[in-house]
Structure 1
Amino acid sequence: MTWLALSFQHLFAMFGATILVPYLVELDPAVALISSGLGTITFLLITKGQVPAYLGSSFAFITPIIVAKAAGGVGAAMVGSFLAGLVYGIVALIIKATGHKWIMKILPPVVVGPVIIVIGLGLAGTAVDMATNNPAGEYSLQYFSVALVTLLITILCSIFLKGFFNLIPVLIGIAGGYLYSLAIGIIDFSKVIEAKWVQAPDFVIPFVEYTPSVSLEIILLMVPVVVVTISEHIGHQLVLGNVVGRDYVEKPGLHRSLLGDGLATMLAALIGGPPNTTYGENIGVLAITRVYSVYVIAGAAVFAILFGFIGKISAFISTIPTPVMGGVSILLFGIIASSGLRMMIDSKLNLGSKRNLIIPSVILVIGIGEATLKFEKFDLHGMALAAIIGIILNLVLPYDKDEQTNHETA
């Protein structure tokens, strides 16, 4: 029973964020649950059962998936996600052969921090629209009140709740907003009543639902996001190592954890789920419980898979009003942006340096302004373009004398 309780804690910790991503990009949340469970089990196997990490839906891919779906349908988005996972595998092989220090030279905080800020602020408009508009797309004070109540509950839980409950403010906020929505009568339970207890989710299978086609536009739209997610992955491995008291970058090796993450994303793409990434929320659960068993993590993964096949649960998730998700999104997307700023602060980035001022400035304006580089056969959009330009600027711009000394000794 203790094992079940611990696994459920991990399930609850990842649940809110994992279903929010497919909700925003119009994929089936049940598939996202299943892909997160399968991806986590795959990750545990690839890392030889040594890294107790849970994988859930990645926020970094929200905008690229939306743009990819608009350009070529859900099939294009899944192909792009698969290619992003494939890049993980390629990087993992290079790291196995050459070590991992080079990748941090290419992806320093001066590049990754601003790109993370772009991810959060680039989604601000989406969050506000979800929070303020009714199903007809018109402003609704009633719907906005739902978003504000949800946001307030989430904030209060984040600040005042302690222990495990402090790790699931999003889930509690969604529950509170849902109850408020129920009280004002904007929830329709007909789908839940009609749903079967056991039913297959809306899987999106290649060669069944669509014929895979690789285009340069999709590659340039989805693959550059890996710049951010690999940095996020490395950060999580370092934090997890500090919590558990082991060096996971050395053993089982960064190449194994990256490969596991990449295979999880490729697997998700093959069934119609969003790309996966390791979850900080579950690292927080490990820190509180001090139970670092991979079997507990695997148990949560199994529960996620089972939940995905329970039709009543899938239907219940679909009844969550848009402003409820809008309310938590206002906070979550802001936190994403703030985490990019925190990365720059924690790395003691000297913005008095012209180099360190120019790189974030260019990344932020190009990314948030959604600049597009258009050629005849492809477009390179906002965040992807910003990430590539940021990497190039980091490689070519000269350091100040003091910084050059510090860079060479790093």
Structure 2
Amino acid sequence: MHVLRTLWIEWQLAIGFLREGRVQSLMIMVGVAVGVAVIVFIAALIQGLQDNIIERTLGTQAHIRLLAQDEVNVVLPSALGTVQLVQEDKRAQRLRSINNWQQISATLDQLPGLMAVSPVVSGPAFARRGEALESVALMGIDVGRYLNVIPLGDYIVNGHLRVGAGDALIGRLLADDLGVRVGSKLRLETGQQNNTVVNIAGIFELGVRELDSRYVYLDLKQAQSLLDLPGGVTVIDLTITDIFAANAIAAQVERLTSLNAESWIETNAQLMNALSAQSLSTNMIIVFVAISVAFGIASVLSVSVVQRTREIGILRATGATRQQVLRVFLIQGAVFSLLGSVFGIVASYVLVWGFNTYGPGLFYIPVSPILVVLAILLATMTGVLAAAVPARRAASLDPVVAIRYV
């Protein structure tokens, strides 16, 4: 009970000092509010930009791709007593199936951390319509599995998502180049005497020029027949729960399956460098803003200590301990930063709402509750730490000297 009474007295003294210097208190709280608003808005802006970039990048590709091991030349041992000099060229890689892909897929289905497993058969071909001839990439898919990797239905701009029974999907740029539309016929030639004519059931637009101008989606069995890989697949696509753990999971899957595992981080190294640079710049902004807020609080409280030297001396002379005086000024720092951070959070929500409502509309800025809590904690801790130096100075004042101070 005595402790609560003491804390209440210290609280009243701290609030009383704040009320006496209303202008100074208001200015420092505005400074804290601006700092918190900048931290939250910039962090949310960078996070929204990164989410948008990752969504656009990974929305059209798997997180991890499993491929068969490269074929290598077999060099026969030299005869006994002879020296063999070998000049070896890398062996040309032929289109071939992944061995035991059904068992591998079933095993990966049970692996923690994987969201989807989709076997795919892919290979080169030509698409012909009249005199028009285009090089394309055939993609044979199991629709049920593939949609868990890439939501192809979200990218259909004409027609329907339908493959199999002679139906196919092609990219919008490829359709423009060939002059075809939904319902048109298209001849696919693989150069292996396995040609066929398909009906264009739908046209998609993934937003990646290379894919929209080359991809042709077929049923898995139809593509296997065209590419002369009956019952085989060339790639197993995976999606994972934690996209930034792709390298670690790829290494784990590679050890488990003895296949080559390529993660999206490896194939998008420049993107990862850009994301790292953005995160670094955000952290630097937060650090400098926090330092600015800390200096502002410390300077105001230092002035407050000088202005209230006599009052502090009287408090010490009437029995107030050094710890009590110290806590009075620490409470002021906490109040400064806490109230300022609340106003700053409100201001940041206004800024985010303005950007999302009246901005360019390139991407949406989300505000994470975790970010809000961290910003408030950061501001409050900064305020308390910044108040520590002037608070120690106030607590160390000699009562007799302080009372005689003019």
Q: What is the TM-score when the length of structure 2 is the normalising length?
A: 0.21
Query: Which protein is bigger by CA-based radius of gyration?
Result: 2
Report the structure, 1 or 2, having the larger strand content. Answer: 2
- If the length of structure 1 is used for normalisation, what is the TM-score? 0.21
> Using CA pairs below 8 Å that are at least 6 residues apart, which structure has the higher relative contact order?
1
